[in-house]
Amino acid sequence: MAEQIEEVNLIKKIEDLQKRLDEANDILNALRSGVVDAIVVTKKDGTKIYHIEDAAYVYQALVESMNEGAVTLTKEGVILYCNKAFADMMLIDYRNLVGVKLVSLISQEDIKKFESLWQNALVGSGKAELRLQYYGVTLPVSMSCNTHATNREPSYVFAIVSDISETKRAEEALKQSRDELENKVIERTAELQKVNARINKLNQTLEQRVVEETNRRMLQEHMLLQQSKMAAMGEMIAAIAHQWKQPLNALGLIVQNMQDAYQHGELDNAYFDSAVKETMSQVMFMSETVDDFSNFLKPSMEKERFDLIAITSEVLKFLEPQLSKNLISYSINCKTHNKTFRSIAEIIPCDATLITTNKSHLAHIVLNILNNAKEAIIARKLSGLLDAKAAGTIDIDVYKEGETLKLTISDNGGGIAEQLIDKIFDPYFTTKSKDHGTGIGLYISKVIMEDKLGGKIYVRNIQDGAEFTIELPC
């Protein structure tokens, strides 16, 4: 009997152990399958709960903590699961998203793009930028889809959705800025084109005005030059008239003497031959005078090599009778050889003052200055500021200074008023009366000197008179 009882107890214990083993296996299976994520253990000191964190749990926690939306879908596109980020993105409770077809959340304008993405996802993966639309709100996103396959058939599709609204806003702002910049560039370009057109028009007008002004000035200078030449010719004619007075008087006397000789029966062959000889002598003198003046006034554009002292003496040759008549003496000083010449007959050429330039132009300038000096001295005598019987003086210095030849002409004609001295080279400016001056001689002299000869001409006051300086490059 006792043995039977013990056997029953053993069988009961075995059944209890088997039951407990089955329960343990069930717990292990539950743990393996993830059904159980915590174990409650009761001890003498109380009850404790132990949480089980397996790979699936960790993965789920990771997905929930993502900033991007994560969605699990069936191959038909029905949402099985979405994380909090996707629900927040859609502003919809995640429970209301489960069971919804994803295509219903796509903007109508992007349906075809989504369908293409979905087809690519079912065979592997796909990515596209789309616009989600819900409750009238449009959200630009970047969607990347990958397929999870079982038995080589797609069973699930996993989608990662990123909110790119900030990027799109930045792109739009950048595009707007670029468009605004392009518009400004276009506007500015149009303004510059208008300005350039105005400038081109002004340039054309300016060129035309420059041409017109140049022609006008050239014409004016030509007219002034002609006036100056006429004035110089008048001076020359006056000089010729003065030169001819003596031979004309001599011719008159010869004619009168022939008449007296005829009346007194003294007109024989010898007398007649003598009268003819004297007459021809005077005629030849007059002819030579005309030739000298003609050569002097003859225009020439050719450059010649000549001596500054020689050209000065040629000019003085024409003025000498007038200078002598008005008690005006002159001197030519060669500073190189320290020699002074007080008459044309004394002058010796000087190699140190040789120059190559336009001879007639320079002679014209020297004539203007010497003639002004003569007239200043005469005017001073007439005004009583210089004794009529006192000698007027004109001193001419010729010398070389470095690579420059200088010719100075000074006089004792009283000088030029300080308030006028800066204006004497201006056109039509004169200190003489209208009957005795045109105001173009010195202006033309300066123009010829600077434009034609490449030199300089200037003036300063000295004691009792003025000093003109001519500078010419060697």
Last residue of a domain, one of 146, 163, 180: 163
Can you give the residue range of the structural domain that contains 144? Answer: 55-163
In this predicted structure, the answer to whether residue 263 has a pLDDT above a threshold of 80 is yes
In this predicted structure, the answer to whether residue 62 has a pLDDT above a threshold of 70 is yes
- Residue 449 in any domain: the answer is yes
Max avg pLDDT among 98-112, 190-204, 265-279, 286-300: 98-112
- Residue 10 in any domain: the answer is no
In this predicted structure, the answer to whether residue 22 has a pLDDT above a threshold of 50 is yes
Please tell me which residue, 382 or 57, carries the higher pLDDT value. Answer: 382
Rounded to 5°, angle at Cα 337 from 334 and 341: 40
In this predicted structure, the answer to whether residue 438 has a pLDDT above a threshold of 70 is no
Selection from 414, 425, 419, 437 nearest residue 469 by Cα: 425
Residues 6 or more apart whose Cβ sits within 8 Å of residue 386: 377, 380, 392, 412, 414
- Other CB atoms within 10 A of residue 133 CB: 16
State pLDDT tens for residues 168-192: 888 888 888 888 899 999 999 889 8
Residues 6 or more apart whose Cβ sits within 8 Å of residue 235: 367, 371
Contact criterion met (CB below 8 Å) for 137 and 116:
no
Q: What is the C-alpha separation between 347 and 332, in angstroms, rounded?
A: 8
Please compute the mean of the pLDDT values over residues 256-274 and round it to a whole number.
80
Q: What is the C-alpha separation between 175 and 181, in angstroms, rounded?
A: 10
pLDDT-based confidence at residue 132 (cuts at 50, 70, 90): very high
- Residue 352 in any domain: the answer is yes
Please tell me which residue, 136 or 446, carries the higher pLDDT value. Answer: 446
Please tell me which residue, 204 or 365, carries the higher pLDDT value. Answer: 365
- Residue 140 in any domain: the answer is yes
Selection from 339, 322, 182 nearest residue 240 by Cα: 322
pLDDT-based confidence at residue 456 (cuts at 50, 70, 90): very high
State pLDDT tens for residues 137-150: 889 999 999 987 76
In this predicted structure, the answer to whether residue 27 has a pLDDT above a threshold of 70 is no
DSSP string, 221-286: HHHHHHHHHHHHHHHHHHHHHHHHHHHHHHHHHHHHHHHHHHHTT---HHHHHHHHHHHHHHHHHH
Q: What is the C-alpha separation between 241 and 236, in angstroms, rounded?
A: 8
Number of domains in the chain: 2
In this predicted structure, the answer to whether residue 442 has a pLDDT above a threshold of 50 is yes
In this predicted structure, the answer to whether residue 155 has a pLDDT above a threshold of 90 is no
Residue 289's pLDDT is 67
Last residue of a domain, one of 133, 163, 193: 163
In this predicted structure, the answer to whether residue 50 has a pLDDT above a threshold of 80 is no
State pLDDT tens for residues 28-39: 555 444 455 555
Quote the percentage of the chain above a pLDDT of 70: 76
pLDDT-based confidence at residue 123 (cuts at 50, 70, 90): confident
- Residue 209 in any domain: the answer is no
Residue 32's pLDDT is 46
Please compute the mean of the pLDDT values over residues 235-239 and round it to a whole number.
63
Residue 429's pLDDT is 72
Contact criterion met (CB below 8 Å) for 92 and 134:
yes
Residue 65's pLDDT is 80
- Residue 63 in any domain: the answer is yes
In this predicted structure, the answer to whether residue 332 has a pLDDT above a threshold of 90 is yes
- Residue 279 in any domain: the answer is no
Which H/E stretch holds residue 315?
A: helix 308-325
Main-chain phi, psi angles of 221, to 5 degrees: -65, -35
Max avg pLDDT among 140-154, 189-203, 210-224, 276-290: 189-203
Last residue of a domain, one of 163, 196, 211: 163
What CATH number did the domain enclosing 344 receive?
3.30.565.10
Selection from 141, 142, 146, 140 nearest residue 159 by Cα: 146
What CATH number did the domain enclosing 60 receive?
3.30.450.20
- Residue 187 in any domain: the answer is no
Residue 394's pLDDT is 96
Q: What is the C-alpha separation between 417 and 168, in angstroms, rounded?
A: 85
